[in-house]
């Protein structure tokens, strides 16, 4: 383990290079900085221009249920046949995706779901307080609000099917209440009357501007002396089982430790540190509507549509869907347009004119758990990527755990379920 092989210890100040300037990387940098380390953030793109820019802004602390659940294998034919479905798969990408997909289906076994759910519960614990601490220090506490969120269902069969997953959430300590249509519309009058019912999660928080959250934390990092470099990282200079420097296309950056938090582009970097991980991407889309013509107090989510509708400072964001198609293929902007159609089904008075569209890559592992822990063949390297739908949710929590690893402190949770070598 890092704590056994590294000379980093609590209280020591070192130069730590963090590869990746998404929300995970920035939170890692800030947490390391709070421990007294000097940090440098490195990325080939500007701050927060990946999934951290276009996410649905929800801190989904109720997400103790993995994406793959029993019976999901029945959806695979539909995934292949419906390119606009909430969960779709591009035919041409199937050969490359097959190993990931087989692991994904294996993770849907009941015993695997139970094990993964326990690991998610441990990781999600304290996610919101961890953010509040960092945002308070960045004078940006007002960017995070806790108003809960509503899961809305249009079909009675969908609501009945989800109740067993809600039961799993309750076993994990999640606060959830079933709502009638009248209760839902009392809370959110813009909702359609054509609903079967829903669920309410009162403890869920959301960001009024997720990109601004990242920028506020990055600004604090820089005020405290941290650097942000725009570089394309291509590898590492190693000596005696340790990273001596981060190699980029332009230069070499000496460091005492490194954190790989490069999201969808972490796979090759992890390989260069001695481990192969089945990291792939879920291509997610959003529409952000500056003048939606309706008002929401809290996010509303539809599992049927694979879509979250989140009130932001800049308007209303309709985000979500999962398209398995890799990082090379061009966006299918029809998937963004279908978000508008589904949004109008939930909110009849929704005005989607002047909406801006976006597509990004969620870095995903087939078992819905991130890689979080020491690199097996580099004593001073930590891996922190693959958070899937929970990147924003777990940013501050991951940063704290990474700082514990670098400092040699015992982690407050068992990190074995997140080990890179579990595959």
Which pLDDT score, from 0 to 100, does residue 9 have? 46
| pLDDT above 70: residue 70 | yes
Task: Reply yes or no on whether the pLDDT at 381 is more than 60.
Answer: yes
Q: Quick one: 379 and 326 in the same domain?
A: no
Average confidence (pLDDT) over 186-201:
97
pLDDT single digits (tens) 199-231: 999 999 999 999 999 999 999 999 999 999 999
Q: pLDDT at position 11, please?
A: 45
- Do 306 and 353 reside in the same domain of the chain? yes
| 5: pLDDT strictly greater than 60 | no
Mean pLDDT of the chain: 94
- Which pLDDT value is given to residue 74? 82
> Which of 335, 364, 393 is the last residue in one of the domains?
364
pLDDT band at 175; cut points 50, 70, 90: very high
Q: Please tell me the distance from the alpha carbon of residue 134 to that of residue 137, in angstroms, as a whole number.
A: 5
Question: What is the structure's pLDDT at 7?
Answer: 44
User: Closest Cα partner for 76 from 97, 57, 51, 49?
Assistant: 97
> What percent of the chain has a predicted confidence (pLDDT) above 70?
97
Choosing from 364, 385, 410, the residue where a domain stops is 364
**Average pLDDT rounded to a whole number, residues 5-23:** 75
Query: Does the global pTM surpass 0.85?
Result: yes
User: Looking at the structure, do residues 75 and 153 belong to the same domain, yes or no?
Assistant: yes
* Residue 59 belongs to a domain: no
Q: Are residues 200 and 237 in the same domain?
A: no
Which CATH number goes with the domain that contains 394?
A: 3.50.50.60
Verify that 89 and 155 share a domain, yes or no.
yes
Same domain for 187 and 236?
no
Which residue range is the domain that position 418 belongs to?
2-52+212-278+368-422
pLDDT band with cut points at 50, 70 and 90 for residue 10:
very low
Q: Does a structural domain hold residue 221?
A: yes
Q: Say yes or no: 13 and 152 in one domain.
A: no
Residue 122: inside a domain: no
Last residue of a domain, one of 364, 394, 409: 364
pLDDT, one tens digit per residue, over 301-348 is 999 999 999 999 999 999 988 899 999 999 999 999 999 999 999 999
Residue with tokens 């590492």: 236
In a domain, 316, yes or no: yes
Q: Are 320 and 346 in contact (CB under 8 A)?
A: no
Query: What does the alpha-carbon distance between residue 193 and residue 345 come to, in Å, rounded to a whole number?
Result: 10
Q: What is the CATH number of the domain that holds 158?
A: 3.30.9.10
The answer to the question of residue 292 being in a domain is yes
Residue 125 lies in a domain: no
Q: Report H helices in 301-380.
A: 334-346
Three-class SS string for 17-30? EEECCCHHHHHHHH
Q: Are residues 264 and 287 in the same domain?
A: no
Same domain, 314 and 199: yes
Q: What is the pLDDT of residue 48?
A: 86
Same domain, 163 and 87: yes
User: pLDDT grade, residue 50 (50/70/90)?
Assistant: confident
342 plus 358 within the same structural domain = yes
Cβ atoms within 10 Å, residue 15 = 15
pLDDT-based confidence at 12, cuts 50/70/90? Answer: confident
Give the pairing of strands 233-239 and 227-230: unpaired
Residue 8 has pLDDT above 60, yes or no: no
- Residue 241 domain flag: yes
Q: What local confidence, expressed as pLDDT, does residue 3 receive?
A: 39
Number of domains in the chain: 2
User: pLDDT tens, 106-163?
Assistant: 999 999 999 999 999 999 999 999 999 999 999 999 999 999 999 999 999 999 999 9
Residue 321 confidence (pLDDT): 86
The whole-angstrom distance between residue 74's C-alpha and the CA centroid of its chain comes to: 26
- Residue 208 has what pLDDT? 98
User: What was the pLDDT predicted at 80?
Assistant: 72
Asked if the structure places residue 169 within a domain, the reply is yes
What is the C-alpha to C-alpha distance for residues 229 and 104, in angstroms, rounded to an integer? 35
Least confident of 68-82, 142-156, 348-362, 364-378: 68-82
CB 111 within 8 A of CB 103: no
Does residue 413 share a domain with residue 339? no
How does strand 280-289 pair with strand 257-260?
A: unpaired
User: pLDDT band at 75, cuts 50/70/90?
Assistant: confident
149 or 3, which is more confident:
149
């Amino acid at each position: 383990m890092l704590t056994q092989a590294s000379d980093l210890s609590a209280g020591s100040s070192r130069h730590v290079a963090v590869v990746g300037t998404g929300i995970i990387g920035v939170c890692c940098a800030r947490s390391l900085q709070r421990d007294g380390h000097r940090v440098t953030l490195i990325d080939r793109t500007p701050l927060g221009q990946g999934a951290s820019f276009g996410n649905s802004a929800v801190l989904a602390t109720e997400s103790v249920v993995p994406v793959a659940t029993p019976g999901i294998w029945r959806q695979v034919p539909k995934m292949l046949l419906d390119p606009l479905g909430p969960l779709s798969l591009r035919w041409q990408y199937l050969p490359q995706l097959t190993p990931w997909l087989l692991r994904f289906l294996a993770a849907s076994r009941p015993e695997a779901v139970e094990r993964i759910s326990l690991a998610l519960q441990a990781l999600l614990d304290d996610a919101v307080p961890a953010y509040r601490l960092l945002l308070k220090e960045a004078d940006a506490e007002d960017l995070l609000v806790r108003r809960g969120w509503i899961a809305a269902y249009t079909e009675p069969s969908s609501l009945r099917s989800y109740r067993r997953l809600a039961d799993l959430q309750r076993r994990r300590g999640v606060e959830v209440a079933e709502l009638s249509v009248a209760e839902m519309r009392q809370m959110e009058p813009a909702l359609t009357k054509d609903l079967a019912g829903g669920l309410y999660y009162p403890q869920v928080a959301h960001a009024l501007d997720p990109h601004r959250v990242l920028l506020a934390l990055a600004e604090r990092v820089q005020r405290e002396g941290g650097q942000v470099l725009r570089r394309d990282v291509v590898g590492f200079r190693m000596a005696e089982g340790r990273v001596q420097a981060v190699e980029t296309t332009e230069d070499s950056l000496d460091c005492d430790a490194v954190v790989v938090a490069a999201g969808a582009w972490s796979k090759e970097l992890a390989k260069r540190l001695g481990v192969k991980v089945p990291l792939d991407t879920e291509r997610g889309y959003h529409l952000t509507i500056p003048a939606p013509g309706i008002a929401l107090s809290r996010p509303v989510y539809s599992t049927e549509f694979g879509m979250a509708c989140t009130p932001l400072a800049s308007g209303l964001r309709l985000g979500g869907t999962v398209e398995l198609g890799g990082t090379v293929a061009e966006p299918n902007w029809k998937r963004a347009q279908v978000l508008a159609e589904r949004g109008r089904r939930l909110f009849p008075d929704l005005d989607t004119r002047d909406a801006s569209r976006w597509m990004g890559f969620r870095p995903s592992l087939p078992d819905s758990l991130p890689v979080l822990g020491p690199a097996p063949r580099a004593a001073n390297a930590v891996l922190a990527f693959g958070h899937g739908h929970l990147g924003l949710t777990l940013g501050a929590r991951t940063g704290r755990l990474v700082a514990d690893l670098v400092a040699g402190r015992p982690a407050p949770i068992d990190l074995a379920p997140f080990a890179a070598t579990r595959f």
